[in-house]
Every structure is written in structure tokens, then in C-alpha cells.
Amino acid sequence: MCCESKRRFLLLYATQKGQAKAIAEEIWQQAGAHGLEADMHCISEMDKYNLETEKDPVVIVISTTGTGDPPDTARKFVKKIQDKTLPPDHFAHLQYGLLGLGDSEYMFFCNGGRTVDRRLQELGAQHFYDTGLADDCVGLELVVDPWIDGLWLALKEALQLQKEKEGMNNAVDAVSSSLSPALHAVRELNLSSEVQNLKLEDEGARGSDLLSQKVNDINLVAPARDNEPTLVHSVPPLSQSALNIPALPPEYIEVQFQEARGENPHLSSLISEGSAFEVPVTKAVQLTREDAIKTALLLELDISDTAFEYQPGDAFCVMCPNNVSEVEELLHILGLSEKGDDFICVKVKQGTKKKGASRPQHIPERSTLKFILIWCLEIRAIPKKAFLRALVECTSDAGEKRRLQELCSRQGASDYTRFIRDSNVCLLDLLHAFPSCKPSLSLLIEHLPKLQARSYSVSSSNLYQPGRLSFVFNVVEFPAGPSRPVSRKGVCTGWLAELIAPLLYPSKNTLDTKGESSSIEKV
């Protein structure tokens, strides 16, 4: 007898910075172990799916951007479903579950997901699973993980109902009314921001996507007398627990070093929308005293030769590089100090198991290694659990490997939040803390997000100062701590402060508070 084919569901994601896509990929990877097949697409690829005729359950993962807007990839979709001529039963045939991503520090929390959810309901669509709203302020994984865990039972029940309805034809109403209420009930999950009430219990290994490892197989890094956990050291019960660990993300990037020389791409090619202008800094003023807790700076830019128009209070973005010394340090740890100026070619790895694999849009096909690390990758990004899982495979020391497994595991969720997320730990911090971890360059390109331009508000008027744009900012400081060996400044504010230092301090002995200069420094 042939095995029954896997039951299909449609999986859509709408992402701005890659988080929603990464979560959708995790769902896609886990589906096979549950006997299901996820047909995954970006929500913008409307030529590859059709909700008007979709019969199978639909799972949607959607983020929020700006002040509560759906991500750019969802704009056309949202515009389409918000057509006021659509009848209230337009999606009456549709069953869906939605996971929204947001940040409660912003006023319109998860509004991208809420907007789509509300409109689908207005058009007659039905939930087969409760909507989840994950909060990036406290840790997406605290809601995402249990939401995904409960998804599989809800999907199977929805598919079972669908199968019975298809088989009974005209008896659908009678069958539906006689089914156990358990098949109709949506799995109830407390997915609120009160994440402290969540109990992430060890449920044992779940298929091929979970790894169970006993603590007595390895030796911990820190001595047993240490009774307080740290970034590199755990304590009971975590140190004695079997672990539920995410599936290993498939590799999909290949990096080839080339002998041929050339030129790096222009920075304007790194932005996907809008226009980029390179403008000179005409003035810099330090607004705070030297002994102030925070350093506030005012910068004035000359925009007279650009088509840049603004109103007071408008936001604009500054394209900034990563700190060059941090890039050099990263190259040294990776053993690539001599290859920073070499050109590399980035391609999709042949035979990869990653669905729809493609070279990230923010990575040029050909450039120097330094260009990618300085201008393209957010090397300060807080590593996600999928990245930690991949780093496990690059770590040779048994104790360090175990601790990385704990930090990406279900049981280590609180340690991840405390020592990774809340401590603003970045890749460099991890590589110092776990010296036997030697990731490949391709792994960094796969897991480090795009280096984002930083947004600032205009603090000047084009009517009062034509051709000039001013903005004020505090230089962000990240002090050294248990998880961070050295203090650091913000990526953009630290770079700007260093860039305008000659304007603020024209000589070592004289402080020019006016900051007037004919400097040709540009941003």
C-alpha cells in the first residue's frame, strides 16, 4: 500500500527586515515532520497563489513597519483586500491562522497583522487557529515558539474537517453539527505580552527538527561552584536538562574568492527605494557640556545641490558603515585578515535544500569582502536563535557547544533573553565568549541581516535656512558588561561623531564650539 501523500497548506509571509520570512521558513521546515507540506510564498507573489479559490488552510506571518504600517511586501495585498466593492462573503470559504510581529514600544503594536486579520474577518474568512501577536520588545520567540507548537494540531483538525466536508458533499451540514466540539474549537493559547506567565515545558524530542542531548555527555565550561548563570555558563535545572533545539537551517550561500580586481558597487545601489544623495557637512555643534551624561550633537548638511525637499519634523535616513576596527577584528577572528581587500563572488549553493533560495538583495554579487562587512551586513545585530543553532555546528569545544545549544533551546529561553537579547550581544561578543566557534563567511551572509540606514528627524526649516538641513542626536553608548567585553558607541551616531570630530575640535588645544568649517566631510 502506498503511503498517503502529505496534506498541503498555504504559507504566506510579509516581511520588512527578514524576521517574518525566517519564521515562515522555520514553519516550512517543521511541516514535513508533522506529515504536512507547506506551500510557501511571499505575500507579494500574488501570481503564485489565489486566496479567492484557495481550499486549503492558510497560515500568514506578517510584520509591522514604520508607525504601524504593513511591510512594503504586503502593500499590494492590503490594497487589494481593502477594496470596498468586495462582498462580505468574499472569503467565506477561507480558513486561516495569522501570526503578527510587532514592538510594543511603538503605539500601533502589531498593526500590520491586525489590519490584515480584521479585513479578512470582515470578508467572511474564518480562523482555524487563534491569532498570535509577538512582541519584539520582550522577545518574539516567547510567543512565536508556542504558537508554532500549537499550529500543527490545529492544522490537522482543519484539514480533517475539510476532508470530511469534501467526502460528505450534500451532508456537510449534518456532519458538521455532529462533529466533536473539540474539532471546531481553536487551540487556546495565551499569546499576550505577559510572557512571564508562559511555561515552556520540556515535551521531549519532536521529530527530526528537535535534538535531545543529555548534559552528562559533556563537561560545562565553568566550574560547578558557580551558582549564577552567565553568557558562557548555565546552572541547574537548565544545565541538567535535555534540550529541544531548533532544526538546523539549510546552507544556501556559496562564497568564491577571485583574483581579478575591479570596483565596488556605488552605495546608492544598496537602497531598494527612494533616492540617495551624498551631501557635505557644513556645521557641527556640541550642545552639551563635556561632563554631561549624554553627548548631544547638531549637524547641518548642505542639500542645495540635491532634489531633497522636506518639512520640519520629516524623517530622513543616513546610510552609515559599520565600525572599521570592528570589521578588522572580525576578519582577524575568522582568519581572513589578509583577504579583506580581495573580491568575492556570492552565489546560491547548488543543491541547497532551502526553498526559493536566492542571493540576499542587499549583498552585491561581486565586491570586496570588506565592502560587504562594512556597508552591507549588520554585524551588531542581536543573533537570532537560528543563527545560534548554526553556530553550534561551527564550535569545536564541547562545553561551548552545549552552552550555545542551551541558548537557542526552548528550555534556555530566559537565558537567551537575559544574556543575548537584553544585553545587546552581537556576533563579535559571541566569538570572544566562545573562542572555538569559527563560522564560515557564507554563514555570516546567510544569517546577518541588512545594515539598515538610520532614521533621524529634521530640526530645521527650509524657509528659514534654504538649502540647509539640520538634525540633532545623542551619541549612543553601550557600556562594557559581563556579556560585552568592551564599550561601544552606536553604529551611526558613533560614526557621525568621529566624522565631525575635526569640526568640533579643529586643534588639540582649542575647542571651537561654533563648529564652522569648510570641511569636505560628506554623508
Alpha carbons 240 and 234: distance in angstroms, whole number: 9
List, by residue range, all CATH 3.40.50.360 domains of the chain.
7-164
Residue 469: phi, psi to the nearest 5?
-135, 125
Give residue 171's pLDDT: 53
Write the pLDDT tens digit of every residue in 212-252: 443 333 333 333 346 899 999 999 999 999 999 888 889 99
Give residue 393's pLDDT: 97
Alpha carbons 112 and 309: distance in angstroms, whole number: 28
Topology of the domain comprising 282-321+453-504: Elongation Factor Tu (Ef-tu); domain 3 (2.40.30)
List, by residue range, all CATH 2.40.30.10 domains of the chain.
282-321+453-504
The proportion of the chain whose per-residue pLDDT surpasses 90, expressed as a percent, equals 64
Closest CA to 496 of 265, 245, 323, 307: 323
- Cα atoms found within 13 Å of the Cα of residue 464, Cβ hemisphere only: 7
Q: pLDDT category, 272, cuts 50, 70, 90?
A: low
Give residue 252's pLDDT: 94
Alpha carbons 358 and 221: distance in angstroms, whole number: 38
Residue scoring higher pLDDT (269 or 364): 364
Report, at the CATH architecture level, how domain 7-164 is classified: 3-Layer(aba) Sandwich (3.40)
Give residue 269's pLDDT: 81
CATH superfamily membership of 253-270+322-447: NADPH-cytochrome p450 Reductase; Chain A, domain 3 (1.20.990.10)
> Residue 102's beta-bridge partner residues?
135
Grid cell in block for residue 90: 468574499
**Distances from the Cα of 339 to the Cα of 122, 330, 370, angstroms:** 57, 12, 9
At 42, which helix (H) or strand (E)?
strand 36-42
- The amino acid that residue 206 corresponds to is R
- The amino acid that residue 430 corresponds to is L
Alpha carbons 337 and 328: distance in angstroms, whole number: 7
Grid cell in block for residue 475: 551619541
* Contact between residue 225 and residue 413 where contact means Cβ atoms under 8 Å apart: no
Write the pLDDT tens digit of every residue in 246-259: 888 899 999 999 98
* Contact between residue 478 and residue 487 where contact means Cβ atoms under 8 Å apart: yes
Give residue 5's pLDDT: 63
Query: For the chain, first and last CA: distance in Å?
Result: 68
- Can you list the positions of beta strands (E) in 276-396? 281-286, 296-302, 315-318, 343-348, 366-368
Residue 389: phi, psi to the nearest 5?
-60, -40
Alpha carbons 451 and 381: distance in angstroms, whole number: 9
- Cβ-Cβ contacts under 8 Å for 328 (sequence gap 6 or more): 337, 340
- Its pTM stands at 0.74
Write the pLDDT tens digit of every residue in 426-468: 999 999 999 999 999 999 999 999 999 999 999 999 899 999 9
The conformational region for residue 356 under phi > 0 = left, psi -120 to 50 = alpha, else beta, is left
Q: pLDDT category, 32, cuts 50, 70, 90?
A: confident
DSSP string across 173-195: HHHHHHS-HHHHSPPP---SS-G
Give residue 11's pLDDT: 97
Give residue 247's pLDDT: 84
